[in-house]
Amino acid sequence: MHLFLKTLYMLTVMVMTGMMMVLVLLCTPDFHMRLSHGFYRQTDLTYSQFVMQSLDNPGIYVAEVSVDVEELPERVPVKREAAWDYSGNNTGYLKIHLDYGRPQHEPWAGKTGCMGLRVGFARRRTLPRTALASFPGSGNTWLRYLIQSATGLFTGSVYIDRELAAKGFYGENEIPECGCTIVVKTHGYCLGGLPEDREQRVKDMDKFFGRGLLLLRNPYDTLIAYRNYLSAGHLGVAGPAAFRGADWARFVYGQMDVWRAYALDWITLGRSVLVVHYEHLLEDPQRELHNILQFLRLRPERPRLQCVMTNLDGAFRRATPDNIFYRL
């Protein structure tokens, strides 16, 4: 009888321990997404009931309207914006729900006046899906650093770059549909060449419901930066041979068509697009960040903006030597 009671006690402890483990997993913010990670990649059910808001009537929500882009006239963007939950205040600012159970990053660790300001994830499916679209070499990574630092929210990407993730871009490990990052980096069809089919050209844009930031940079500097990246990585500078000869000429003429088409597609077919000029960002970063925050419907935080202004470069802004031969 004594052995029976001991066995019964051990079984009871094991069952209770198992139930506690299941309860902890169910309460873990990442559990549901990890369990269904593959499913979300196959379907778009997370946003199948995505809410749309009229630009002319803030606060009034209507069902999503399916629009065939083939029927849209050229250069006439749809006057609708992918929106999310603005309830709970009358300011029009996006209501942020931070996920404190996930990793955070401190971009200015050890710097006086900026310590303690962190970047984190929002709770899953609480942010609208917004693209950060650009041709490669336009300064996308630098702008992501500025946006992350100014908002306190991670940016995402349709790609996975382990080098960026190691530098504090934790959103690299997230799928674009998570709804937990403030913007999502995409180069669209730029990496694969200009598609002949118009439907293929807007396919990537439709993933973001036509909403996004479009980063444009002088094409001369863009192609040089892209060539540097292809030859020497994120921060390297390619040698003179990369900018001479027939291969360089083919690269320039081919990529210029893609640069132009990608910019025009977002400008003419996007539903809600803010064009950000890289040169304006260099000239007056504070003004441009205010415009970006307004577009994203985020309330500016003075301490963060002050720290951004005193730490503009970040870890991934390529420094080009003054004596480089292709500088005009």
For residues 142-149, average pLDDT: 96
> Which range among 7-16, 26-35, 145-154, 250-259 shows the weakest confidence by mean pLDDT?
26-35
- Looking at residue 56, its pLDDT comes to 34
- Looking at residue 171, its pLDDT comes to 94
Query: To which residue do tokens 């629009």 refer?
Result: 67
% pLDDT > 90, the chain: 41
Mean pLDDT of the chain: 76
pTM: 0.69
Q: Between residues 227 and 280, which one has the greater pLDDT?
A: 280
Q: Between residues 177 and 75, which one has the greater pLDDT?
A: 177
CA atoms within 13 A on the CB side of 290: 7
- pLDDT at residue 28 is higher than 60: no
- pLDDT at residue 268 is higher than 80: yes
> Which range among 9-18, 28-37, 155-164, 278-287 shows the weakest confidence by mean pLDDT?
28-37
- pLDDT band for position 203 (50/70/90)? confident
| Pairing, β 80-82 against β 52-54 | antiparallel
SS3 category, 8: helix
- Going through the chain in order, the beta strands assigned E by DSSP cover 52-54, 61-62, 80-82, 131-134, 156-157, 184-186, 211-216, 272-277
**Cα 90 from Cα 328, distance rounded (Å):** 50
Q: Which residues pair with 122 in a beta bridge?
A: 98
Cβ atoms 272, 55 nearer than 8 A: yes
- Looking at residue 319, its pLDDT comes to 56
Cβ atoms 211, 127 nearer than 8 A: no
- Backbone region of residue 132 per phi and psi (left: phi > 0; alpha: psi in -120 to 50; beta: other values): beta
- pLDDT at residue 238 is higher than 90: no
Query: To which residue do tokens 């997993």 refer?
Result: 25
Give the count of beta carbons closer than 10 Å to the beta carbon of residue 195: 15
- pLDDT band for position 51 (50/70/90)? very low
- pLDDT band for position 12 (50/70/90)? confident
- pLDDT at residue 194 is higher than 70: yes
